[in-house]
Amino acid sequence: MGVGFLFAMSLPALVVLLIALAFVERFVRGRGSGAPIAAVGFEELGANFEGAKRDELEHRKEERQRRDEEGDGAPPRSRVDLDGGTAVLKLPS
């Protein structure tokens, strides 16, 4: 086995690859062209060495799945018109 193969299979090689990917994303692809793959890679790499980071990533994933939309839930009984300066409150009977 050569030295090049051993380097390619090491952790520093992964970091070099992630840095190169970040450079390509930043300067070649442009800013608004999708999710930052290198950032996700760095977060996962950090999560392998720091247990709390793994918990944080799992928490973020769960929060994205549980996000409430404005139209979810019961229909509103009250209405507030900020432009007109009026509020209509309907109390349950």
Q: Do the domain assignments include residue 24?
A: yes
Q: How far apart are CA 85 and CA 83, in angstroms?
A: 6
Q: Do the domain assignments include residue 50?
A: yes
Q: How far is CA 50 from CA 20, 46, 54, 80, 93, in A?
A: 23, 6, 7, 47, 54
* DSSP-H helix ranges across the chain: 3-8, 11-23, 37-49, 51-65
The number of folded domains in the chain is 1
Give the number of other CB atoms < 10 A from CB of residue 22.
16
pLDDT in tens, 28-84: 766 555 667 777 777 777 777 887 877 888 888 888 887 666 666 666 677 888 888
pLDDT band for 8, please (50, 70, 90 cuts): confident
Q: Do the domain assignments include residue 71?
A: yes
Q: Residue 58 phi/psi, 5° resolution? A: -65, -40
The answer, yes or no, to whether residue 17 has pLDDT greater than 70, is yes
Q: Do the domain assignments include residue 35?
A: yes
Q: Do the domain assignments include residue 18?
A: yes
Q: Do the domain assignments include residue 62?
A: yes
Task: Record the pTM.
Answer: 0.43
Label residue 56 exposed, middle or buried (CB < 10 Å: 0-12, 13-18, 19+): middle
**Structural domain harbouring 30:** 3-88
Q: Do the domain assignments include residue 93?
A: no
